[in-house]
Amino acid sequence: AQKVTQAQTEISVVEKEDVTLDCVYETRDTTYYLFWYKQPPSGELVFLIRRNSFDEQNEISGRYSWNFQKSTSSFNFTITASQVVDSAVYFCALRNTDKLIFGTGTRLQVFP
């Protein structure tokens, strides 16, 4: 079975704090694709990053960084020096051959 687990339902931080959103996945496929999307209150899912199973390099993009570890089936997302504009629901997703399988999302609230 394919599954994505985001155990953190909601996280609240104060601006400038660092925050890590956890994502654990299950799949039997040897080749798979992982994604993070952000959903602000407007509702649109905004693509953040894609990672292929054969590329375990971690990635940094500005204040965002991602830690992909196949050994623990995790694909965690860290926001450094969080800002109020980062407040949103963040979804981790696993892509198999035909569809995206989403986790339940983590609601991040960043307070000024």
- Which residues of the chain form contacts with other proteins (CB under 8 A)? 33, 35, 37, 42-47, 50, 91, 95-105
Query: Nearer to other proteins by C-beta: 33 or 64?
Result: 33
Query: Nearer to other proteins by C-beta: 82 or 105?
Result: 105
* Cα(45)–Cα(110) distance, integer angstroms: 19
Q: How near is the Cβ of 64 to other proteins at its closest, in Å?
A: 16
Q: How near is the Cβ of 50 to other proteins at its closest, in Å?
A: 5
- Strand 88-95 to 74-79 pairing: unpaired
Question: Pick from 11, 9, 22, 111: which is nearest to 73 by CA?
Answer: 22
Query: Nearer to other proteins by C-beta: 44 or 112?
Result: 44
Cα dist from 20 to 1, 6, 70, 82, 107, whole Å: 26, 11, 18, 10, 12
Q: How near is the Cβ of 85 to other proteins at its closest, in Å?
A: 18
